[in-house]
Amino acid sequence: MLPFRLVYHPGYDLDLGDHVFPSAKYGLIRERLLEEGAAGPEDFVTPAPAGDEDLALAHDRLWIRRLQTGTLSYAEIARLEIPYSRRMVRAFWLAAGGTMLACRLALRDRVAVNIGGGFHHAFRGHGEGFCAINDVAVGIRSLQRTGRIDRALVLDCDVHHGNGTAAIFAGDRKVFTISLHQLNNYPHEKPPSVIDVHLPDETGDEEYLSHLRTHYVAALTLHRPNLVVYLAGADPYYQDQLGGLSLTMGGLRQRDRFAVEMALRAGVPVAITLAGGYAFRLEDTVRIHCNTVKAAADAALATAAAGPP
């Protein structure tokens, strides 16, 4: 049994077929964790879709309505880069509900993982780059609205800059955003996060982890968040189709353990979303995401044994 819960819904799969975004990975992650004995059926919890009022905490109501009614323009659908369908809409509502639930569970259990989410390219009034709803922003805003947290830190370790998240939280001193990403990659326009680490092509494990240590630990100390939302992208992997960094599976697992352990040692709970992953071999993406769950479990157990900060 894991020391935290995994949030999952079969509806996370957008059923995109032969698309570079392998949305079938969510079910495969669950299957592998169960097959390997890394998680049991009791470790999984099922989210409800986010409500429209929840989504409106981070998105314009007109955008929400147009997604629901299928009245997007051709240009807006092209910008999303995924086909429009009712199933796609439900998947994003579920992902947002999943991240909301993971954030609440993290406050209770110190760590929680949404086996989905991390759709950081969604802005208040439009979507892009496979992202229609910014579940991370919805999750944080929902906790702030109910008074469960005051300050949050977003640690975005996807290979792509978290442009939608940066734009939504721009000027908000209650939310500290960090993005470690490949500079010469999507998106072309990168609204500033509080800290942006623009990594050169083919950055490997050692340099990446050095940047993470430098910026993340300082942010935890200075911002003193009540919650970290960690986007554990699999796409910095050296064999990712949409990435250009050179992290190994071992380096990614070190990254994940460090991200979770440092927060827990500072007394800050962590909600994890899995974000992107487009390895040439789907099984590699699935393995990296499963390793994130295992690394988080290692960090949770190690810090629990060490006692309170």
> Is pLDDT at 139 greater than 80 in this prediction?
yes
- pLDDT tens-digit series, residues 208-250: 999 999 999 999 999 999 999 999 999 999 999 999 999 999 9
Model confidence, pTM: 0.97
Q: Which of 205, 203, 308 shows the shortest CA–CA distance to 258?
A: 205
User: Is the model's pLDDT at 309 over the cut of 60?
Assistant: no
Residues 241-291: tens digit of each pLDDT: 999 999 999 999 999 999 999 999 999 999 999 999 999 999 999 999 999
Q: Which pLDDT band holds residue 308 (cuts at 50, 70, 90)? A: low
pLDDT in tens, 178-207: 999 999 999 999 999 999 999 999 999 999
pLDDT attached to residue 1? 86
pLDDT at residue 17, rounded to an integer: 87
Contact criterion met (CB below 8 Å) for 106 and 273: no
Least confident segment among 14-18, 106-110, 151-155, 292-296: 14-18
- For range 137-163, the mean pLDDT: 98
Range of the domain at 299: 5-306
Q: How many independent structural domains does the chain possess?
A: 1
State what percent of residues in the chain have pLDDT above 70: 98
Q: Report the 10 Å Cβ neighbour count for 248.
A: 14
Alpha-helix runs per DSSP H in the chain: 25-35, 52-55, 61-69, 74-80, 86-109, 135-145, 163-168, 205-223, 249-265, 282-306
Task: Walk across the sheet containing 111-114 and list its strands.
Answer: 44-45, 5-7, 111-114, 270-273, 227-231, 152-156, 175-182, 195-199
Q: Does residue 307 surpass a pLDDT of 70?
A: no
Distance, CA of 2 to CA of 32 (rounded, Å): 15
Output the pLDDT for position 91. 98
pLDDT given for residue 231 in this prediction: 98
CATH code at position 9: 3.40.800.20
Looking at residue 234, its pLDDT comes to: 98
Q: Which two tokens mark 306? A: 């060490």
The candidate with the shortest Cα–Cα distance to 204, out of 174, 162, 260, 246, is: 246
Of 189, 192, 232, the closest CA to residue 212 belongs to: 232
Instruction: Locate 304 and state its tokens.
Output: 């629990």
Query: What pLDDT, on the 0 to 100 scale, is given for residue 115?
Result: 98
pLDDT at 56 over 80: yes
